[in-house]
Structure 1
């Protein structure tokens, strides 16, 4: 983010109340992607009793943590990416933390379709979480993704104990799992919180996701020689994404895209990336480079000042496109990502790398 990858996704790749509703509508440390992948226990929700929201509510999250409360949570606070995913499935959080408001006051892409004018901000940047404000919202539940095993994203380590005393929390594992499984987990959680999985916007988003994936697969088959690399940067280093640790990139590889990636990640990053000095930024060659588009990440015009970057074939060919590293895990979110990716790759030459 300004410099950051995903554990820097994690750490950042180094915050008018609305109750949760089952409506039918819809700078962290430098580069590190979601921190190291962790094992996950399958999360599940017990079906609400006949009394609906008045019945007992249980859920086992991806830490293997069992949550059991007298009634279905109504007041949910969520990390921005989790809030965005839940929003697309029909849940309306009352508060968010993590990137959601840009410096100009606009909505950060990381918070998706969430109406930031109707949710309370608990913190907007890495390391910022206002525990007192969080407690004042009287939340029933906190939801956050996890890139590092058993570690809720964007909750400062020093605040964990205090946050745990306020309300139960649900963690959703975001690494080491297939993209579709993560999306499905958010859908299951939203349903358990009262959202309608058959609502028209949800069904339409799923159909759009399937269509976008099929179109990307067709394009990959038509352009087997098109080499694609995914990166993020800091002033000191270039981070090249390690395919197995990124659910989105791995999914695209399964669809047939020719992804250029390291044989192994840099050990100190806990996975996710190979870290290269800018002097060695030409280690890998690709026809197309997807660049981390997060607001905190190094911008392409800043990278252009690095001599080795400027000499890369994809850079000289102008085939640089955004990579939405912190996209919310919903069908709508990734349908949009894959549609944009297909459009960009369709117009790209596959003979840039000689």
Structure 2
């Protein structure tokens, strides 16, 4: 495909986004923009979700050059005119199922699609991480990007390191994924609902589930309940909307703090081999450190 030929990409809603030429000015949801950057595509702008504020969340932006990428804002600050101020010729959004553009009001999304081609990548629980990563890679290639020649090898090495660490760690120490909400409560991830956490389980990591109850992706638990999960390693949400784990002073949690190791976790992960390899490496390092005492 050349720059002069018609451009088309069928997104995860089954809808083709088309253009007379290859898009060169991409506006993306922050997760998508940071992922595309790992594939050599620099978006002209990014936008956040209702969890975000007036500045981009550094936990979500990866290695994006924020001095060269326009952050449009998030939540109520987003309208069609704001989103289109950089004159993008393609919007790349994500969905958690049902095709809805995450982070955008439905009316805003509707009017946006009337004015510019939109690609939606489904990052929801029904997708495997490999599938999502592959879709971003396909899109990046069609936008003129190129895969990092060493990324696949680095990911394979990280997977094997983690697999070996899980086998070698006595007692299969429990790993819990938490998003601290307050001094009273946390959100505990249900592992089967998160593609990245399912990969950990596939590689032999013991990812513990919170108690059954309300909440599809998260269980809302008190810190005593979080402590009762007896984690040795905690994947802690480092997005700006989460409370830092080291600020939690709940007595029940203090009892397990001294014996746990923490790994920074972004529940909206960059879906690139490079980013995934970095995450797996951090988990492997924590397992190795636990094994050595």
Pairing of 1:192-203 with structure 2 (within 5 A): 192-197=142-147, 202-203=148-149
Q: Distance in 2 between matches of 1:158 and 1:183?
A: 29
**Displacement of 1:301 after TM fit?**
3.0
Q: Distance in 2 between matches of 1:215 and 1:79?
A: 32
Contact 1:59-1:68 at 8 Å conserved across structures: yes
Q: Distance in 1 between matches of 2:93 and 2:7?
A: 18
**Displacement of 1:174 after TM fit?**
0.8
User: Is the counterpart of residue 252 in structure 1 residue 200 in structure 2?
Assistant: yes
User: Is the counterpart of residue 186 in structure 1 residue 136 in structure 2?
Assistant: yes
Gaps of 5+ in 2: none
Match of 1:287 among 232, 243, 263: 232
Question: Match of 2:179, SS?
Answer: strand
Contact 2:232-2:260 at 8 Å conserved across structures: no
Pairing of 1:93-242 with structure 2 (within 5 A): 93-98=43-48, 108-123=58-73, 125-175=74-124, 176-197=126-147, 202-223=148-169, 225-235=172-182, 237-242=185-190
Normalising by the residue count of structure 2, what TM-score does the alignment of the two structures yield?
0.89
Runs of 4+ that moved beyond 6 A: 102-107
User: Is the counterpart of residue 53 in structure 1 residue 8 in structure 2?
Assistant: no
- Inter-CA distance 128–157: structure 2 relative to 1 (3 Å threshold): farther
| Residues 310-354 of structure 1, C-alpha deviations (whole Å, 9 max, x = no match) | 23x3x2314233223222100111111111221122112599xxx
Gaps of 5+ in 1: 1-47
Question: Match of 2:210, SS?
Answer: coil
Q: Distance in 2 between matches of 1:104 and 1:151?
A: 23
| Residues 249-306 of structure 1, C-alpha deviations (whole Å, 9 max, x = no match) | 1001000001111375x44x3x211222345334422222221111221111332x22
Contact 2:181-2:243 at 8 Å conserved across structures: yes
**Displacement of 1:98 after TM fit?**
1.7
Aligned counterpart, 1:75? 25
| Count of matched residue positions in the alignment of Structure 1 and Structure 2 | 288
